[in-house]
């Protein structure tokens, strides 16, 4: 097959309108049960779950199909400890000196602080990198496009796949995240965008009520 060849669009199921409405509602009802988790159990999770979830993330729409992402999966206790120490170091500076009062006030209802014990407790940490340079093949160094958008969509799909597998996640953004390059042995043309903490919630896990308030449809949409 030649580079510019096309193949027919893959067949989608022929649902009735009623079925589609009910399936869309089901998707909403299911996704509504996803909660950001900050209290993880140390119970193991099969590595295959992570592998399939990453394959799912890798199907995300992206710029020129360069697939400008890299997922560094961390599970060894030593690496997790190292990462926790580095992240907590950055976070302490963030909470104590860098964050504006306005930002701290916005975070207050979530109850977050610089202590991140879950970085050692949870079985998997996935450091997500956007590749400024890359291409279709590993090792390519072409210009990549829409890296932030592509990685954002892939991360959303990863979170969704893990949720479907019954796992909890936390989108953690230590500020700044440059230390992740060294820790994960990633090159300078990659930018760490997110650290995803993955595992089962602790038995006594709680969520802040603040996080349960979702904007109604009328506030998040307009119909023209």
The residues of the shown chain that bind ligand IYR, judged by CB under 6 A, are 91, 107, 110, 112, 172-175
What minimum distance in Å lies between the beta carbon of 90 and ligand IYR? 9
38 by Cβ neighbours in 10 Å (0-12 / 13-18 / 19+) ranks as buried
- CA–CA separation, 36 vs 165, rounded Å? 15
What minimum distance in Å lies between the beta carbon of 95 and ligand IYR? 7
What minimum distance in Å lies between the beta carbon of 8 and ligand IYR? 43
What minimum distance in Å lies between the beta carbon of 127 and ligand IYR? 14
Contact status, residue 130 vs residue 148, Cβ threshold 8 Å: yes
Select 143 or 173, whichever has its Cβ closest to ligand IYR.
173
Run of H or E residues at 126: strand 124-131
- CA–CA separation, 113 vs 121, rounded Å? 17
- CA–CA separation, 77 vs 121, rounded Å? 9
Select 96 or 185, whichever has its Cβ closest to ligand IYR.
96
Select 49 or 196, whichever has its Cβ closest to ligand IYR.
196
What minimum distance in Å lies between the beta carbon of 91 and ligand IYR? 6
What minimum distance in Å lies between the beta carbon of 99 and ligand IYR? 7
Contact status, residue 223 vs residue 111, Cβ threshold 8 Å: no
Select 84 or 172, whichever has its Cβ closest to ligand IYR.
172
DSSP states along 138-191: TT--EEP-SHHHHHHHHHHHHHHHHHHTT-EEEEE--SS-THHHHHHT--TTEE
Select 137 or 212, whichever has its Cβ closest to ligand IYR.
212
Rg (CA), the chain: 19
Select 66 or 172, whichever has its Cβ closest to ligand IYR.
172
- CA–CA separation, 215 vs 108, rounded Å? 19
Structure letter (DSSP) for residue 123: S
């Amino acid at each position: 097959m030649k580079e510019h060849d096309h193949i027919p669009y893959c067949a989608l199921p022929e649902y009735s309108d009623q079925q589609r409405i009910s399936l869309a509602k089901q998707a909403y009802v299911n996704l509504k049960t996803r909660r950001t988790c900050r209290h993880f159990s140390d119970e193991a999770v099969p590595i295959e779950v992570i592998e399939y979830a990453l394959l799912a993330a890798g199907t995300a729409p992206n710029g020129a199909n360069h697939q400008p992402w890299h997922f560094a999966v961390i599970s060894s206790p030593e690496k997790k400890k190292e990462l926790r120490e580095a992240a907590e170091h950055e976070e302490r500076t963030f909470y104590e000196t860098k964050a504006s009062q306005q930002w701290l006030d916005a975070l207050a209802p979530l109850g977050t602080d610089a202590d991140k014990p879950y970085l050692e407790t949870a079985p998997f940490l996935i450091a997500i990198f956007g590749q400024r340079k890359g291409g279709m093949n590993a090792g390519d160094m072409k210009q990549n496009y829409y890296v932030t958008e592509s990685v954002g969509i892939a991360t959303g799909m990863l979170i969704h796949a893990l949720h479907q597998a019954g796992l909890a996640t936390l989108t953690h953004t230590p500020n700044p995240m440059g230390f992740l390059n060294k820790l994960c042995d990633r090159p300078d043309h990659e930018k760490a965008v997110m650290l995803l903490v993955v595992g089962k919630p602790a038995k006594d896990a709680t969520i802040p009520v603040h996080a349960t308030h979702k904007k109604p449809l009328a506030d998040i949409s307009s119909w023209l």
